[in-house]
Amino acid sequence: MTALPLTRMKRAPAIAKAAALCALVGISDASAFSGFGTAVVEDRDGKPCFGLPTRTFESLRSPRPLRALTVHRNVNDEAWSFSYHPSPAVLLRPGQCIVYGELPVSATSPAAPQPLVPGALYEVYLNAPTSGLIRGYYAKFCLKTLPDGSTRVIPVRYDERKGWTAEVCQP
């Protein structure tokens, strides 16, 4: 067995540290490996408002063309959607958002937006591909009814023990 050159032996720990750092930076959102980033869901007077993330690495690729947006409760229960076909996509910058039910200029929608049900789990998908690995952005959310009768939008995170659940929005 031949001995490794000294320079190769000294580089091995540095390469291992660099690989570990790259893995930590890249796994800030595991969905990025599936081709999807995490969309932003905010509350705007009880209605959800959807946008792109403002993280440092994401904003380097902005603005991005938004080709379509879809909100659904489950696969067969679409609540609202629109697209820019055949019109060209509109550029969407991180920090901007689209309020549920408010159709952007030049976008077309196949149907009127459905009322959102408090306590139900919804998913939004923004077709806004980057020049990199990300094809679009998605997030889950629900509406919670407050004691005064108004609603508040709650972004839903994945729970290791319970999975995707709208439990945080139950009365």
Instruction: Pull the structure tokens for residue 71.
Output: 């909100």
pLDDT beyond 80 at 78: yes
Residue 24's pLDDT is 32
The answer to whether the beta carbons of residues 114 and 59 sit under 8 Å apart is no
- pLDDT of 153: 96
Q: DSSP state, 161?
A: T
pLDDT in tens, 3-25: 545 444 444 443 333 333 333 33
Burial of 106 (C-beta count, 10 Å sphere; 0-12/13-18/19+): exposed
E strand or H helix that includes residue 52: none
Whole-structure pTM value: 0.74
Cis peptide before 155 (omega within 30 of 0): no
Report pLDDT digits (tens) over 28-65.
Answer: 344 444 688 889 999 999 999 999 887 645 545 567 88
pLDDT of residue 170: 83
Percent with pLDDT over 70 in the chain: 75
C-alpha torsion angle, residues 57, 39, 167, 102 (rounded to 10): 150
Radius of gyration of the chain (CA): 21
